Structure 1
Amino acid sequence: MSVTLDGAAGEGGGQILRSALSLSMITGIPFVIERIRARRKKPGLLRQHLTAVQAAQQVCGATVQGAELGSSRLRFEPGPVQGGEYRFAIGTAGSCTLVLQTVLPALWFAPEDSRITVSGGTHNPMAPPADYLIRSWLPLMRQLGVQTEIELISHGFYPAGGGEVRALVTPGRPQGRLQLLQRGVLQQVELEARVADVPLEVAQRELSALSQALTSLQQPLHCHSRQLPARFGAGNVLQVALCHEQITALFVTLGEKGVSSERVAERLAREVLAYQQGRGVVDEHLADQLILPMALAGGGAFVASVASEHLRTNMQVIEKFLPVTFELSPLAGDDTAVQVSVLT
């Protein structure tokens, strides 16, 4: 049995490849993907996608054809997953977290512990930052019985990169069913701004503007600013953690040269308030990152704030490798109920 994938299907991005790599390693099913990232301005394998392929190849001793920069076609034939010590370097500001999320699910099924270090970008505009995995995604994985620790060793901002993330994995497949149907009471709101090679005043102005924009939350706002070592160029990250009883929703934006602190804060505040005013428990990005481990665990359900094309495309990939089905039920506004079920 082999799976053939169209890399231009649905949203047509790199997630099709990454999910296929994870699932192929776990199931032992080979795959061929054609027209990789065909809808992007720079189609084919970029550095971070190639690193994900090479990482997967090392983890399971796969036979691979087409693992080259710019390649639009890849064949991947997995071997058995092996734990151990792994280090992967992207060499650009490409996302460490996306490479990490490619190999972590497979290493849950390894026969021994693993230690993985990935260097590259930890905070860039087109991928979940390391904080997001640590604060939002990882606590839910623990509810599924996954024993994994993730540590942000050093920040790496776009375009320089140079950051590092480390994960420690104890084998154990996801078990149980997540039922994320209500957020529960909002218990705490945390605001944090970090800068590297940028005046700390910028972070403080962002926090001031963000605090004013979030007064409608009617919660004490715990604000923190931090100056980071400027190892690989300038960077600025601003984030809000909404700590509910059932979930911590993390919202992150990056400062940009020529964009005022107030504009950066306003942009993030709009995202936070839109989430808080809806019924969705799982935000748009986390929804996409939950369905693979939930499918591995055998099912579950959640209410997503948005059922994106990214999410729908990922569902289609998962259904090609696992005997699962997904059901989407529209609710008020953009909120959508998502049910993951095992086929019988």
Structure 2
Amino acid sequence: VDGSVLEGGGQILRNSIAYATLMGFPLHIQNIRAGRGKPGLRPQHLKGIQLASEIVGGSLKGDEVQSMEVKFEPHGKDTPVEPKKEFLADTKTAGSVCLLMQTALPIVAFYPNETTITFKGGTNAIKAPMIEYSISVLLPFLRTHCGLQAKADVKTRGLFPHGGGVVTMTGGGPSSLGSSNTLSAFEVLDRGKLTKIEGEAVTVGKLPLKMAEEMAMAAEKHLKWYLSSIRQEKSRYDSSSSGGDGAKKKEKEQQLKKEEEGKAAVDIKITASHEEHPRSSASFIILRAHTTKGCIIAASTLGERGKRASAVGHSAAQMLVAEWKAGGCVDSHLQDQLIIFMALAKGC
């Protein structure tokens, strides 16, 4: 496998090792994360592939930080692997535990007995899904559409630069996929109408609750403005739609239909909270748009040093609006996470 294809990121590595472990194929992957500023294995990628290999009793070569090439050999079929009830994957850094979860989840789905994996590292890391996203968007989608029963719990939050977060994920066994022991294929073509937007703005450690409140208020203000602007645009269009070019009129109708939330009031509820933390301080906001068809479109933003809290909230709201206007049934962050489950599903 050439790890430099397309964007040359870690998803190629995560999917490749999962496919190899599940199908019992040897894997040789080169140019790992060649498209990234710091290419090669980072601690979270290293622990991910080591965890995958441990779960199935395989062996690795080249598994070290910054390595650009890794070889995986599956466990010999003549010697069965004794199933374990617990595993541990510790990045020993603030590397994302959610990326570890992405690696393990498809493998655990088919594990013969229920097992619990403890992930240690960063729960809210840069350039990675937040743990809130994995728990409130990814896992519910897989449960609803694929029949995958897995749950995750945050025991301790881990933040840059210290890490130290602890998340447990439980899955596998007879209850994981039901009696069929297969992932269900799914087809989601209609996201339905927007019904509500909810989210959480959180400050951690030394950052005050007021910052979380400012993030929440700024996000809500922008979302209300967007919904109001859609209603106004729809009203102007209705009053002037009697004439005009037919093709342009149809195109505009389709665009407005995608943004049909303008027809009715949408409930917006964004909470603000503060969490104590002994070593680290941070802030973040996550927003989720829910639809009548059960789709969840999400966006999130981490606070940055020197960036006003209101700007962080506004940025998250802008991202959510952009995701919604794109017209998809899932957001851009969920798309690549679903590919492996679609490939492993039974059906169409």
User: The TM-score by the shorter chain falls in which range?
Assistant: 0.7 to 0.9
For the residue of structure 1 that corresponds to 2:133, the secondary structure is helix
Which deviations, in whole Å up to 9, do the C-alpha atoms of 1:46-100 show, x marking residues without a partner? 1111111211121111111111111111100122674420111111111101111
User: Do residues 208 (structure 1) and 256 (structure 2) align?
Assistant: no
How many Å apart are 1:176 and its aligned residue?
2.4
The aligned runs of 1:150-189 (5 Å cut-off) are 150-171=152-173, 172=177, 173-189=181-197
How many Å apart are 1:154 and its aligned residue?
2.1
TM-score (norm 2): 0.81
Give distance in 2, aligned partners of 1:56 and 1:231: 32
For the residue of structure 2 that corresponds to 1:214, the secondary structure is helix
User: Do residues 120 (structure 1) and 109 (structure 2) align?
Assistant: no
How many Å apart are 1:175 and its aligned residue?
2.8
For the residue of structure 2 that corresponds to 1:6, the secondary structure is coil
Report the counterpart of residue 87 of structure 2 in structure 1: 86
1:83 and 1:107 in contact (8 A); partners too: no
Give distance in 1, aligned partners of 2:13 and 2:141: 24
How many pairs were matched up?
296
1:95 and 1:120 in contact (8 A); partners too: yes
1:157 and 1:235 in contact (8 A); partners too: yes
Report the counterpart of residue 269 of structure 2 in structure 1: 222
For the residue of structure 1 that corresponds to 2:8, the secondary structure is coil
For the residue of structure 1 that corresponds to 2:312, the secondary structure is helix
1:161 and 1:232 in contact (8 A); partners too: no
The aligned runs of 1:1-344 (5 Å cut-off) are 5-79=1-75, 82-143=83-144, 144-171=146-173, 172=177, 173-197=181-205, 198-215=207-224, 216-217=226-227, 218-245=265-292, 246-298=294-346
Give distance in 1, aligned partners of 2:53 and 2:278: 31
2:297 and 2:323 in contact (8 A); partners too: no
Letter in 2 for 1:167: M
Q: Cα gap change, 1:8/1:278 in structure 2, threshold over 3 Å: closer, same or farther?
A: closer
2:120 and 2:166 in contact (8 A); partners too: yes
Percentage identity across paired residues of the two chains:
34
Query: Which consecutive unaligned segments of at least 5 residues does structure 1 have?
Result: 300-340
2:200 and 2:216 in contact (8 A); partners too: yes
Give distance in 2, aligned partners of 1:249 and 1:158: 26
For the residue of structure 2 that corresponds to 1:178, the secondary structure is coil
Letter in 2 for 1:162: G
Letter in 1 for 2:196: Q
Give distance in 2, aligned partners of 1:157 and 1:39: 25
For the residue of structure 1 that corresponds to 2:297, the secondary structure is strand
- Larger deviation, residues 207-216 vs 241-250: 241-250
Which deviations, in whole Å up to 9, do the C-alpha atoms of 1:276-313 show, x marking residues without a partner? 223211111101111111211135xxxxxxxxxxxxxx
Letter in 2 for 1:157: L
Give distance in 2, aligned partners of 1:276 and 1:147: 27
Report the counterpart of residue 315 of structure 1 in structure 2: none
How many Å apart are 1:131 and its aligned residue?
1.1
Letter in 1 for 2:183: Q
Which deviations, in whole Å up to 9, do the C-alpha atoms of 1:114-164 show, x marking residues without a partner? 101101011112111111111111112112121111112222122322211
2:110 and 2:172 in contact (8 A); partners too: no
Which deviations, in whole Å up to 9, do the C-alpha atoms of 1:190-235 show, x marking residues without a partner? 1311111201100011111111101033422212111112133111
Letter in 2 for 1:13: G
Give distance in 2, aligned partners of 1:277 and 1:8: 31
How many Å apart are 1:17 and its aligned residue?
1.0
Letter in 1 for 2:275: L
TM-score (norm 1): 0.82
Letter in 1 for 2:195: Q
For the residue of structure 2 that corresponds to 1:21, the secondary structure is helix
2:39 and 2:66 in contact (8 A); partners too: yes
Give distance in 2, aligned partners of 1:254 and 1:174: 36
Give distance in 2, aligned partners of 1:177 and 1:105: 14
Query: Which consecutive unaligned segments of at least 5 residues does structure 2 have?
Result: 228-264
Letter in 2 for 1:179: E
Letter in 1 for 2:307: V
For the residue of structure 2 that corresponds to 1:86, the secondary structure is strand
How many Å apart are 1:174 and its aligned residue?
4.1
Q: What's the RMSD between the two structures over aligned residues?
A: 1.6
More strand as a share of residues: 1
Letter in 2 for 1:46: R
Give distance in 2, aligned partners of 1:211 and 1:285: 22
Larger Rg belongs to: 2
1:64 and 1:77 in contact (8 A); partners too: yes
Give distance in 1, aligned partners of 2:165 and 2:68: 28
